Structure 1
Amino acid sequence: MNELSLMSGLEDISQHIHERISSLYRMLDLSGVELPQRKELGQEFGALEKLLEEFEKCVDRQRERLKQLKDLEQSFQKNLQDVQHINENVPAHMPKKKCPANGGEPVMTQKTDVLPVPSQNVKKTTKSFIREMEVITVQEFESIPPYMKGRVSYDQLNAAVQSLNAAVSAKYKILQQSVKSLNNQTRKLRQRFKDQETKETKGHFFVVEDDIREFTRMKADKRFKGILNMLRHSQRLRELRGGGIVRYVLV
């Protein structure tokens, strides 16, 4: 029974009770001039008593319905507050699912401070997958020792992650192109990339400081070194030294 039907039922019962009471008043008035009609009065009182019982049951049902509605309202308000809290505290950087080894190149969803890459005609192949570092979660950031974080914030650390990902992407896009499709400047970059590869880097994605300067606006200063320490601590990359070059290999 919904709320409207309950209200209608209460109104009908109330109207019926009023009619019964009016009938009793008329019978009492008539009993003064006519013979007492005790039997009819008894029947009317019995019917009125049943109506009052039904009326009380309807009132109880309405009271229970009102309680349920209040409980529902409280539950709705709590859910609304939870949703508002989640909406106001969504991290600026969200972890992305790992792409399969034979999948396409991940799409950069975060805006990064990256210099444009020389435009070339790129032929899509099955080797177009380029690995990216996953962003740092809030729990991971909080687990980094305070002395290591310094003044670097959560958002700043993940902005660095996105910039490093952009450098990796720009570098390996060039490596995946044919030499004939490159201009002289990009050919020199490609040759430099090839010269920096070793047996240890085979099958891995890495960048060096020159790549970071080439493809991003990040400065290889003391703050940058601190960020690299945090990323190593969070197992996002590792260092591989050799030939006077430090290679930052994605884990």
Structure 2
Amino acid sequence: MCIRWAENTHVMVNAMASSSLEDLCLYISLKISNIKKFILLRDLGKDDCLKHFLRKVYNEGILIHELLQAMEIQVKKQEELKKSLREIQKAAESAQREAWHLLQHVPRYLPKPLQVCNVESTVKHEEETKAVEPKCEKKPAKERAIKEVALITTEEFENVPAYMKGRITYDQINAVVEEINKAVVGKYKILYQPLRSMSAPVRNLYHRFIEEETKDTNGVFFIVEDDIKEFTKLKLDKRFYVMLSILRHCQRLREIRSSGLVRYGIC
């Protein structure tokens, strides 16, 4: 109390030193007014005419309190939303990094859709000396699908046992798959041709293909070693048969044996 009185006295002295008489009177009047307000507030609860005002102030205080509680709830919700957004941002950044990694490491070989072979029938021309007779337009041949061997994925190749792979690489095994597909397409293009459009060597191949079919190959696309020799430049050595084992392991080929002949069916 003494300290506050001393401070007030110090302020008054400074005010008197730096202000005019009017400023000093204004300062003293303000202090007297504050003292009166304090006295009124002290007896506010005892005065019946001011109880209504006090009750109104109390109600306003309750409303302010409720508003602050509602604001606190909203702040918590916003904090939770902010936390969720941060988690979503982290997941999106992680997905972006994975996508970028995949883009930078696209496998050289990707599985191809079934090749659709459009078989066009060829008709031998008559001798130039004969007159050209009008012919009816022929309907285009129906497209027939040829099932090919699906390429090996990197994940499948990594799961092949090491003793089976040896030094064979991912690119090498898929290069063999592409060569096998050449043999498959070459064989079935001939099978889908009309006999009358075939030359003598092609007709011989056609008859061999037919003879190699059995009840076990019904509805199965398959080739034999002679087809690989006919349509590809692959060497049927020990390394080639190791690759065939890998393709069987990955369920790309299956063996169909009968009459001393091994047929490689496309899975």
Structure 2 unaligned spans of 5+: 1-17, 28-85, 124-139
**TM-score of the superposition, structure 2-length normalised?**
0.56
The one of 211, 236, 247 aligned to 2:252: 236
Matched, 1:125 2:136: no
**For residues 45-76 of structure 1, what are the alpha-carbon distances to aligned partners after superposition, in whole Å with 9 as ceiling and x for unaligned?**
xxxxxxxxxxxxxxxxxxxxxxxxxx899998
Cα deviation for residue 208 of structure 1 reads: 0.7
CA contact (8 A) 2:183 2:223 kept: yes
**TM-score of the superposition, structure 1-length normalised?**
0.59
Distance 2:177 2:255 in 1: 15
Distance 1:179 1:233 in 2: 37
**Letter of the 2:177 counterpart:** V
Runs of 4+ in 1 over 6 A off after TM superposition: 35-38, 71-79
CA contact (8 A) 1:93 1:158 kept: yes
Query: How many residues were matched structurally?
Result: 178
Q: Residues 139 and 81 (structure 1 numbering): CA distance in 2 closer, same or farther, change over 3 Å?
A: closer
Distance 2:216 2:95 in 1: 52
Matched, 1:175 2:191: yes
CA contact (8 A) 2:117 2:189 kept: no
RMSD across aligned C-alpha pairs, in angstroms? 3.6
The one of 96, 112, 116 aligned to 1:105: 116
Distance 1:241 1:230 in 2: 18
Cα deviation for residue 82 of structure 1 reads: 3.8
Cα deviation for residue 78 of structure 1 reads: 6.2
Q: Residues 144 and 132 (structure 1 numbering): CA distance in 2 closer, same or farther, change over 3 Å?
A: same
**For residues 106-129 of structure 1, what are the alpha-carbon distances to aligned partners after superposition, in whole Å with 9 as ceiling and x for unaligned?**
79xxxxxxxxxxx97496325x11
Matched, 1:215 2:231: yes
Which of the two has greater helix per residue?
A: 2
Structure 1 unaligned spans of 5+: 1-30, 39-70, 108-118
State the identity %: 43
**Letter of the 2:172 counterpart:** Q
> Paired residue for 1:164?
180
**Letter of the 2:142 counterpart:** T
CA contact (8 A) 1:238 1:249 kept: yes
> Paired residue for 1:248?
264
**Letter of the 1:241 counterpart:** R
Higher relative contact order (CA 8 A, sep 6+): 1
CA contact (8 A) 1:120 1:182 kept: no
Matched, 1:134 2:145: no
| Rg larger in structure | 2
Matched, 1:89 2:105: yes
> Paired residue for 2:208?
192
